[in-house]
Amino acid sequence: MIREMTTYLNEVWLANPSAASLKKFVDAFGKLKDDPAALGLPADFRLVAGPWFSNEEAKALFVFEIDDINVTFPVFTRLVAGGLLARRRVTPIVPWSAAEELVREL
C-alpha cells in the first residue's frame, strides 16, 4: 500500500516590509518552484501550488506535501530568527472528497 504524503497550506509573513527585505523574501520563496533545497528544505518536500503573494498583507502562501512536517521546523525557525519572517502558519488540508465522505458517515 502506498502512503500518500500530507498536504499543507503554508503562510509566511514578512517581518520587515522594506524594499531590501521584500527583495530577499521574493527571491527566497521564488526558489520553492525550482529548488526547495536552496531554502534548506528536504528532498521529499513537493510544492503543489504557489507561491503566491498576498494582495492584503506582506505574506506568501503556498501548498506543499511532505512526509514529515517536523523536518521543516528548523528551516522556518531560522528564517524567523534571522529576521526575514515574522511568523509562519501551517494548516494541514485534505481533499474535498474527504469532507464529502465524512458527511456521508454522519
Nearest to 19 by CA among 27, 10, 30: 27
Q: What confidence tier does 3 reach under pLDDT thresholds 50, 70, 90?
A: low
User: Would 57 be classed as within a structural domain?
Assistant: yes
The residue-averaged pLDDT of 20-46 equals 92
Its sign, for the CA torsion 52, 23, 70, 55, is: negative
User: Would 1 be classed as within a structural domain?
Assistant: no
User: Would 19 be classed as within a structural domain?
Assistant: yes
User: Would 93 be classed as within a structural domain?
Assistant: yes
Per-residue pLDDT of 45-84, as tens digits, reads 999 999 999 999 999 999 999 999 999 999 999 999 999 9
User: Would 21 be classed as within a structural domain?
Assistant: yes
CATH number of the domain within which 20 lies: 3.30.70
User: Would 90 be classed as within a structural domain?
Assistant: yes
Q: Which three cell numbers stand for residue 19?
A: 524594499
User: Would 12 be classed as within a structural domain?
Assistant: yes
Q: How many domains does the structure of the chain reveal?
A: 1
| pLDDT for 1 | 46
- Sheet architecture: strand order including 46-53: 46-53, 59-66, 6-14, 85-93
Is pTM beyond 0.75? Reply is yes
Q: Which domain holds residue 37?
A: 6-66+73-105
User: Would 60 be classed as within a structural domain?
Assistant: yes
